[in-house]
Amino acid sequence: MADREVAALIVGGGAAGAACAEALYEGGFGGSVLLVGREPEPPYERPPASKGYLAGTQDRDACLLHDAAWYAKRSIELASRTSVMRLDTAARTATLSTKEVVEYGVALIATGANVRRLRVDGAQLDGIHYLRALGNADAIRADAEAAEHVVLVGGSYIACEVAATLTSLGRRCTMVMLEDAPLSTHFGPTAGGFFAGLLRERGVELVCGDGLERLEGGDRVERVVTASGRVLPADMVVMGTGAMPDVMLARAAKLELGETGGVACSADLETSAPGVWAAGDVCEYDSVLHGGRVRIEHFEVALAQGRAAAAAMLGTRRPYAELPYFWTDLADWVTAEWVGITEAPEREVVRGSVDDGAFSVFHLAHGRMVAALSVGRGEDLAHARRLIAAGTELSGREAALAEGDLDAL
């Protein structure tokens, strides 16, 4: 027996959950909406946790998507510090950590992702950090105050951003990564070369093509030992080793899971349980744009999918087909923006000047543009969006892409 009923239950107080609640309100949903989130704050933006919030230039309130009063004013019930412990999709009930049982009409799974922890010797030492929540950023900043040497493990955007932020705060940062260059897995070799040059120029030491072997110290970490045997002094370590979708609740509810470990969804983001949608980092959906199952961990995608799930709950069901967008800021040194449908370029065409730090890299596959990265040339990104979405045939037109009038393509 349920203690009460809600028309819509949103599980997860992150970007996707908040966007869904907002879109339900704006779409005139009318029924009651309960947004349940495990963290103490109302839903907030995670990106500042490695950028302005970590640097201390952006305060906590400025990270919130909306403050608590915003939800109250719209009759969206916000249950922070609360978890959904159990979901029964046949009975359409959820059991909360408060023991309350709530019957729902429709539901959204927006449980996000958790950091991927590496199990290496020394992993339990003090001074080893992962970064997902604002509280983790607080701990990193506090530890960094007394640290001289910081080692970052990983070559993706979180390690790069934290290295840039802490270097700006005067720390000596060393990055250890398996990749040949930072950010090259997602953005390709040209961009990787650019970011490597920029980080080095700003004083970040890069150890590329090498992995983490173990962490050493007494109670606290003192050294990082790499697979090739390099020993790096470390007063603290930040692990940027990826994230895994949080499917604990979904798995226990026997929702179908996908190949990337996310919650398997149809093209319009509905899970295997009718009336239950998924959005954000946890959502692995059948993408008409990609031609297969994908799961995308980008902030704007989480927002857009939250809105799309709300539209479906409101009765407008259509395949989710927004072109993924991502950005990364390395301190105030550079902002890079990316749009695209694949992160493994077959061929690159460069426009502008990498040396001058104002360039775009267009990624081509099968004669079409599939992704683009821009640094300091936002106008190129708009053209790239158009060319990718239209699937324009670009074989033999590389010179025009590099130097010609993009309007004419």
**Residues lying near ligand FAD in the complex (CB under 6 A):** 11-17, 36-39, 46-47, 49-50, 83-84, 110-113, 131-132, 158, 246, 249, 280-281, 297-300, 302, 326-328
C-beta of 322: minimal distance to ligand FAD in Å? 13
- What 8-state DSSP symbol labels residue 334? E
Pick between residue 184 and residue 328 the one whose CB is nearest to ligand FAD: 328
Radius of gyration (Cα) for the chain, nearest Å? 22
C-beta of 404: minimal distance to ligand FAD in Å? 30
C-beta of 293: minimal distance to ligand FAD in Å? 17
**386-392: long-range contacts at Cβ-Cβ below 8 A with a sequence spacing of 24 or more?**
388/323, 388/339, 388/340, 388/341, 389/323, 392/368
| Rounded CA separation 334/358 (Å) | 10
- Asked if residues 302 and 15 have their Cβ atoms less than 8 Å apart, the reply is yes
Pick between residue 78 and residue 225 the one whose CB is nearest to ligand FAD: 78
Strands of 1-111 (E only): list them: 4-11, 33-36, 76-79, 84-88, 93-96, 101-109
- Would you give the end-to-end CA distance of the chain in angstroms? 62
| Rounded CA separation 165/37 (Å) | 28
Please tell me the chain's helix, strand, coil percentages from 3-state DSSP, rounded to the nearest 5.
Answer: 30, 35, 40
3-state secondary structure of 232: strand
Q: Kindly state the tokens that stand for 141.
A: 């900043």
Pick between residue 234 and residue 303 the one whose CB is nearest to ligand FAD: 303
Pick between residue 38 and residue 363 the one whose CB is nearest to ligand FAD: 38
- Asked if residues 288 and 269 have their Cβ atoms less than 8 Å apart, the reply is no
C-beta of 84: minimal distance to ligand FAD in Å? 4
Pick between residue 111 and residue 360 the one whose CB is nearest to ligand FAD: 111
For residue 104, the number of C-alpha atoms closer than 13 Å in the C-beta half-sphere is: 31
Pick between residue 113 and residue 255 the one whose CB is nearest to ligand FAD: 113
C-beta of 396: minimal distance to ligand FAD in Å? 34
C-beta of 402: minimal distance to ligand FAD in Å? 27
C-beta of 223: minimal distance to ligand FAD in Å? 25
Q: Is 49 exposed, middle or buried (0-12, 13-18, 19+ CB in 10 A)?
A: buried
Pick between residue 213 and residue 300 the one whose CB is nearest to ligand FAD: 300
C-beta of 141: minimal distance to ligand FAD in Å? 13
Pick between residue 17 and residue 192 the one whose CB is nearest to ligand FAD: 17
